[in-house]
Amino acid sequence: MGAVRMLSREIGEPVSFPLALVAITLAVGGERVLDPRFYESGYFAGILAGFILHELAHRQVARRYGMHAEFIAYPPGLLITLASALLPIIILAPGYVRTYAFYGYNPRGFLNSVAAGPAVNIGLALLGIAYHTTTGSLWAWQFSWVNGLIAVFNLLPVPPLDGEKILRADTRLWVGMFIVAAAIYLAV
């Protein structure tokens, strides 16, 4: 019973960010994480920038709308993310930004805070594609691929992912974001 209780405990900031980053790095990097060159790659930079900026975008936009928001690492999600390093599919679910309003629910603020995360990954992927197109940089291609993956995964319309919340609140926004994210991911 004690182990189950430990696994269900949420882990708040500041510890939540490093734990989630390690889990995502291992899931995306797989056996490459043992190679020091991996940490110089666009894959690692994409994970670092894509994950941190995605979660900070959720958090900061929610705060701008007057809501309380913090990144929470969720132990079962961390384990699923780590286990996906051994699977043919990568599952990135180390945690979430917990958001709640002190002064009433703001639908526009909630939608904008949820959409901000995948929007950041789409923007980062587009920047990487632009840089790759002009320079032929493999690093930029890797950076774009990781951010495309993060955007597509988060936009899947499956609870508790961002895509399900966006689809429920604004179908047209979800369709547009998903088409762009999928096109980016398929292009790289």
> How many Å apart are CA 1 and CA 105, to the nearest integer?
36
Q: Is 13 part of the annotated catalytic residue set?
A: no
Q: What residues contact 170, with CB distance under 8 A and at least 6 apart?
A: 111
Pair type for strands 95-101 and 67-73: antiparallel
Annotated active-site residue in 10, 13, 55, 164: 55
Three-state SS for 67? strand
Q: Are 88 and 146 in contact (CB under 8 A)?
A: no
**Joined tokens for residue 48:** 């670092």
Could you tell me where the beta strands, DSSP code E, fall in the chain? 67-73, 95-101
What residues act catalytically?
55
